[in-house]
Homo-oligomer: A and B are copies of this chain.
Amino acid sequence: MKPEIQSLVNQVRSGDVRAVARAISSVENRLPESSDLLKALFPYTGKARVIGITGAPGAGKSTLVDQLARFYRKHGRSVGIIAVDPTSPYTGGAILGDRIRMQEHFSDPGIYIRSMATRGSLGGLARTTADVATVLDASGRDLIMIETVGVGQDEVDIVRLAQVTVVILVPGMGDDVQSIKAGIMEIADIFVINKSDRDGAEHVEREIRTLQSLATRRDCWTPPIIKTVASSGQGMSELATAVGDYEAYLQRKDLVLNKSVENWQERLLEMLRDSMLDKARALFSDGNLERMATEVAEHKRDPYTLVEEIAAGVRR
């Protein structure tokens, strides 16, 4: 390993915020050294609790994450926040502004916030998020919160990284949101009804209970429903307790390793896919891709046979 990388690894491990930011940028942009960096950091990970927090747009995720982070800070635990925003690969930063405000807000070095936008079109967001979590974990953060909008497969993949997944609902959302709820029933370890001072909180609670009675979890945990008003910090203590309860449950049932093994099965496949895709891309160099796409667009070639042929040549 290059001495610069070793030096960066040491700085990250000491918790140096600038080094952490640099390491994350390297990982996010998949710079050439990022692979060595991750290899070197990995042995120092596995200590942080990773909490995934997801919910529909407008559910108050940022505020809740903000308040929960404050709560943990009051109890002396350091926090890293990864906010994954489904913004454009082009324009980028609508929510970024929001994050910058949040960053200013936290003069406390015990809270580190990193905003990530969707990158590229061929996925990899879940993987990048996992790699960023690796850096934060190695830097000694006690808790890592991953915050993401709860719609779409990308987001499900992202929260799957977490040991504990919190799903936020709010009273008075429309029909489409109900369908999102169905989609995330299985991944929720804890439900939060945020803005629970609004009308309809009981209705949401009843709906969750109904969905719970239909869903089958592979374990025997019944996800609790915590009512919060994140804007005023109400319910944070109860939420933190629920997180602790679930962790205790996992430990009691020896499920921690199980869950981690399952996650790693997915992640290894994903990493291998990306790695092989890089190989495949290399085959498409020198304008090859455009030429082939043109042939397909002109219907001179069928894409299915084409891809089979290319894939067959990758391992040569």
Contact = CB atoms under 8 A, between A and B. Distances in A.
Interface of A: 35, 38-39, 42-43, 45-46, 56-58, 85-95, 98, 118, 121-123, 125, 149, 151-157, 160, 173-186, 211, 214-215, 257, 260-273, 275-277, 279-281, 283-284, 289-290, 292-294, 296-299, 302-308, 310-311, 313-315
Given A85-B179, A180-B57, A307 B121 contact: no
A269 B122 contact: yes
A123 B284 contact: no
B88 A185 contact: yes
B297 A268 contact: no
Main DSSP-derived SS at the A contact region: helix
Nearest to A307: B271
Nearest to A36: B304
Contact of A311 (B182, B264, B275, B299): B275
A11 B42 CA distance: 55
Nearest to A184: B88
B149 A149 contact: no
B299 A43 contact: yes
Nearest to A35: B304
Contact of A280 (B86, B269, B283): B269
B179 A94 contact: yes
A10 B303 CA distance: 20
A183 B276 contact: no
Given A87-B182, A88-B184, A281 B304 contact: no
A39 B302 CA distance: 6
Interface centre among A93, A94, A174, A305 (most CB of B within 10 A): A94
21 contacts: A57-B57, A87-B180, A88-B185, A90-B186, A94-B182, A94-B183, A118-B183, A122-B266, A154-B154, A257-B298, A261-B290, A261-B294, A263-B297, A265-B289, A265-B293, A268-B289, A269-B277, A273-B276, A276-B279, A276-B311, A279-B315
